[in-house]
Chain A
Amino acid sequence: MRPFTRPSARGMLRAALAALPLAVVALAACFEGDVPTRQIGGTEYGLLLTVPSPLRLPGGSFTARAFPNNLTLDSLIVTLSSLKPLVGKAAYQFYAVGGGVGDTVPVAARLTAIRVDSSVTAAGSVSTTTDSSEIGTSTFFHGAGPNTTVRARFGGAQFGGITRRYLVITIQADSTAPAFTATTPQPVWVQYRNLAVPPPPPPVIVANSIITGGNTIFGNFNVNAPRPFIAIGRGRSAFWDRSRDMRLVYSAIVEDIAQPPLGYFYQPWLRDTRTRRGVPFGELRDAAGASLHDADLLVIPGSVAQIPAARFDTNEDSVGTALQTFDGVHLVIEPKLGQPGLSLASVLVGTFGDTLASRGFGSIEVTAVRGQELVPGVQIVVRAVSGNNAVGQPIPATTVGDEPLPALKGKITITKIPAGEVELIVTPPSGFTAPATPLRVTVLRGQTTPVTIALQ
């Protein structure tokens, strides 16, 4: 029998070396509770995009007057809005259109611009004024801003006999060389005369009779198969605090939106209805990242031409201002030849929720003084420099007296002001005079800016 011998130091060393991998296993086991998944960025603020109501698509309404036989057109009056001003030599042009050869001819109208302006009163309410001005008589029309409606009055004689049935508004890229071809955008039309073979009753329709009124139609005109534009689709989007510094990035996916009419495209906008600011951003891209600016030229099969999916996005650096200072995202249908500027023809809209909107507010703390004297009872209304609405709360605000605290005398804090430059409309109490020039203040989001009103 062999006696037991004590392990040598060398043997112990070897045992320790052999155990080394086991030690590594044990160490690795210590990381079992480690979850390597990590949060990226901060909070995402979701925003659904839906079709707004009412829609403000290009076009309007019409009224037609006929002679007693109800077959001869006396006059046609069309009221048009949301026809965005066009650039350079581009212009809208009116055509009378029929199915026969030679039936398509330019027609002229006496044009009147009706402009509505609004302003903020000293009490904070909005007053509007309406002005109308004659543009002249022309077959061309260069468009109008969002606050302007154009009334076009056509004499009936130029529409000829009963073979012409439509008034079509075209977009001419070069108004010095107008044309009416298949490639000419024909986005708005009016059918003022019934067909020679009307649809079966009811109601009973007299062949070729004048249609006395209705709405214009926006879409792709074709005398044989006009295709109206239908505002459809939906979108989901979100603002994301990617860097956890409230410098938001934005991304949207829209689905099943209608193909734009010829000569039109979709433009995303950030808009603020409170201050009437608007910034176009980015462009629609398909799933592969290709631009959809020319989606109007795509051949899309099916009875309803739709774009299955598209994306657009932006960030604060691109827009130039904090995204949360707006109050909505709009997908607007615009003419490709349109001038820069706001258009109200939104087909998808998302309105900010309170959680996000509140992060775009700032405040001002107003102190009214005359010399060293603190002045209570001064009424203040805040108006965004770019807008015609009163903003902030309260509207109007009034500097307080000795109550409830003497320290607050002559002061008032106005909150929930969208960040940006604002103008103060000051109405002092009797015996005091407001500053000669309106006071302008830059409101910063999340901050309270002190303002002193020096009364005379």
Chain B
Amino acid sequence: MRLSIPRGRRPAVAAAAALALAAGALALSAPRALAQVADTVLTDSSAVTGSRTFEVSAIVGYQLFDRSAALRDAAAGGVRFVNARILPSVPGLSLGFTAGFARPTTRGEYFPWNRQIYYSDINRRNDTTLVFEVSQRVTMANYGAELGWRVGGGDADSPSTGLRGVAAEVSAGVGGYAFWLDPEQTRTNSIRSKLAYTLGAGIGVPLRGGTTLRVRADDLIFTGFDRNWFSLHDPLFAEELFQNPERQPPAPKNTVHNLRLSMQFSFFPGVSR
């Protein structure tokens, strides 16, 4: 029997699958992590060495959107949960879940201008016309499960310090992305959601206190993308005499690659060094 998923529901199904996968992986490590937390509560944390299984990362970075996406680059944030020991027989193999967000503004210069005609009380006619480039600030979210592989950094339970503790990692993931449009500009509550993939790589540097600083570059690949989602062009107010774009923007693409450069502060709950 062939499983068929309606095109419109594929992102949701993919996201659900990714979440289920990540939740399962994290669930495997959660009891151990919780037990570790319980064991360490009463003691001086500096004296405890727990299990390095369940890693939490806070993501702070900058999102460089595809030039054709009609989005300006923006700050980005997010969280990442990784089970780095899903298969003891394959050291370094990891499964995780990532959620990110950003608040970019759209590139109004890619879309037609709008005009506003103003009435003058002095000569009692519409004598002033102003032209506007219309943009909006949107909220972007991406989420998904990812499979990764880490190299270096020493043994998982007794990580190396200094340069010997530096670890490299690569990952690939699947999930979804969503854009919430500005309801004041679009006069509607509108969300655009589709399937997304991620490809990423990074380097982790151990810090003091069991914390790791990771520097990562991720390609957030948005499929089924349509930049006209962000157009606020309204035929009623269209500026048709002077046409925008004045300079031809990059050709629209159905799949856009958005580079996220980030720093990730990672730690294992309950593990002190």
Task: Give the distance in Å from the alpha carbon of A238 to the alpha carbon of B46 in the complex.
Answer: 75
Which residues of B from 104 to 152 have beta carbons under 8 Å from A? 105-106, 108, 113, 115, 117, 123, 126-137
| Interface membership of B199, Cβ < 8 A | no
Query: What CA separation (Å) do A13 and B267 show in the bound complex?
Result: 10
Q: Is A397 an interface residue (CB 8 A)?
A: no
Cβ-defined contact, A38 with B133, below 8 A: yes
A238 touches B129 (CB 8 A): yes
Contact (Cβ within 8 A) B131 A41: yes
By the criterion of a CB under 8 Å from any partner CB, how many residues of chain B are at the interface? 49
Q: Which of A327-379 contact B (CB under 8 A)?
A: 353-355
Give Cα A34 to B106, complex, Å: 13
Among residues of A, the one whose C-beta sits closest to the C-beta of B78 is: A21
Q: Separation in Å of the A197 CB from the closest CB of chain B?
A: 51
Q: Which A residues lie within 8 Å of B232 (CB)?
A: 37
Name which residue of chain A comes closest to B118, CB basis: A43
B77 touches A24 (CB 8 A): yes
Say which residue of A10, A14, A43, A253 sits within 8 Å of B129 (CB atoms).
A43
Return the contact of A8 from the options B45, B79, B265 (Cβ within 8 A).
B45
Chain B residues lying within 8 Å of A25, measured Cβ to Cβ, are: 77, 101
Check A240/B75 contact, CB under 8 A, given A14-B267, A28-B103, A39-B132: no
Partner of A21, one of B58, B117, B126: B58
A236 to chain B: which residues have CB within 8 Å?
A: 241
Which chain A positions have C-beta within 8 A of B241? 44, 236-238, 240, 251-253
Q: Is A102 an interface residue (CB 8 A)?
A: no
Are A24 and B129 in contact (CB-based, < 8 A)?
A: no
Contact B130 A44, beta carbon cutoff 8 Å: yes
- Which residues of the partner chain B approach A83 to less than 8 Å between Cβ atoms? none
- A5: chain B residues at CB < 8 Å are 41-42
Measured CA separation A282–B147 after assembly (Å): 61
Q: Which residues of B contact A237 (CB under 8 A)?
A: 241
Q: In whole angstroms, what is the CA distance A309 to B232 when docked?
A: 25
Q: Are B209 and A13 in contact (CB under 8 A)?
A: yes
Distance between Cα atoms of A28 and B103 in the complex (Å): 7
Q: Whole-angstrom distance from the CB of B192 to the nearest CB of chain A?
A: 18
Set of chain A residues within 8 Å of B113, measured between Cβ atoms? 40
Query: Please, what's the 1-or-0 string for A19-52, where 1 marks a CB less than 8 Å from any CB in chain B?
Result: 1110011011001101011111101111000000
Which of the listed residues A18, A25, A242, A253 has the most CB atoms from chain B within 10 Å of its own CB?
A18
Contact (Cβ within 8 A) A24 B75: yes
Whether A3 is near chain B, meaning CB under 8 Å from some CB there, is yes
Instruction: Tell whether A76 is near chain B: CB-to-CB under 8 Å.
Output: no
Contacting pair B242 A10 (CB below 8 A): no
Question: Is A249 among interface residues, defined by CB-CB distance under 8 A?
Answer: yes
Task: State whether A38 and B137 are in contact (beta carbons under 8 Å apart), knowing that A11-B45, A28-B75 are contacts in the complex.
Answer: no
A44 touching B129 in the complex, CB below 8 Å, given contacts A17-B211, A21-B77, A251-B242: yes
Whether B272 sits at the interface, judged by CB under 8 Å, is: yes
Question: A36 vs B209: C-alpha distance in the bound complex, in angstroms?
Answer: 43
| Docked-complex contact A44 and B131, CB < 8 angstroms | yes
Contacts of A14 on B, CB cut-off 8 Å?
211, 267, 269
B58 x A20 contact (CB < 8 A):
yes
Known: A21-B77, A253-B240. A2 touches B41 (CB 8 A): yes
The answer to the question of B56 belonging to the interface, with a C-beta cut-off of 8 Å to chain A, is: yes
Residues of chain B lying within 8 A (CB to CB) of residue A31:
103, 137
CA distance A285 to B181 in the complex (A): 37
Contact A242 B242, beta carbon cutoff 8 Å: yes
Q: Which residues of chain A have C-beta atoms less than 8 A from B123's C-beta? A: 354-355
In the complex, which residue of chain A has the Cβ closest to the Cβ of B80? A21
* Residue B217 is within 8 A (CB to CB) of chain A in the complex: no
B60 interface contact, C-beta 8 A: yes
* A36 & B108 in contact (Cβ 8 Å cutoff): yes
Closest-CB distance, B191 to chain A (whole angstroms) = 17
A18 in contact with B242 given A13-B211, A31-B103, A31-B137 (CB within 8 Å): no
Which residues on A sit within 8 Å (CB–CB) of B130?
Answer: 39, 43-44
Residues of B within 8 A of A242 (CB): 242
Distance (Å) between the CB of B142 and the closest chain A CB? 13
For B185, give the chain A residue with the smallest CB separation: A37
Q: Is the CB of B41 within 8 A of A8?
A: no
* A249 lies within 8 A of B79 (CB): no
Chain A residues whose C-beta falls within 8 Å of the C-beta of B60 in the assembled complex: 20-21, 24
Q: Is the pair B135, A36 in contact by a Cβ cutoff of 8 Å?
A: yes
* CB<8 Å pairs between A and B, sample of 22: A5-B41, A8-B44, A8-B46, A10-B45, A10-B46, A10-B209, A14-B211, A24-B76, A31-B137, A34-B105, A37-B108, A37-B134, A37-B136, A37-B232, A38-B108, A39-B130, A39-B133, A44-B130, A46-B117, A238-B129, A238-B242, A353-B127
Q: A38-B132, A354-B123 are in contact. List 19 more A-B contacts (CB 8 A).
A: A2-B41, A10-B45, A10-B46, A10-B209, A13-B209, A19-B58, A24-B76, A31-B103, A36-B105, A39-B131, A44-B128, A44-B241, A46-B127, A46-B129, A240-B131, A240-B241, A240-B242, A252-B241, A355-B127
User: Closest 3 interchain pairs by CB?
Assistant: A24-B77, A44-B129, A36-B135
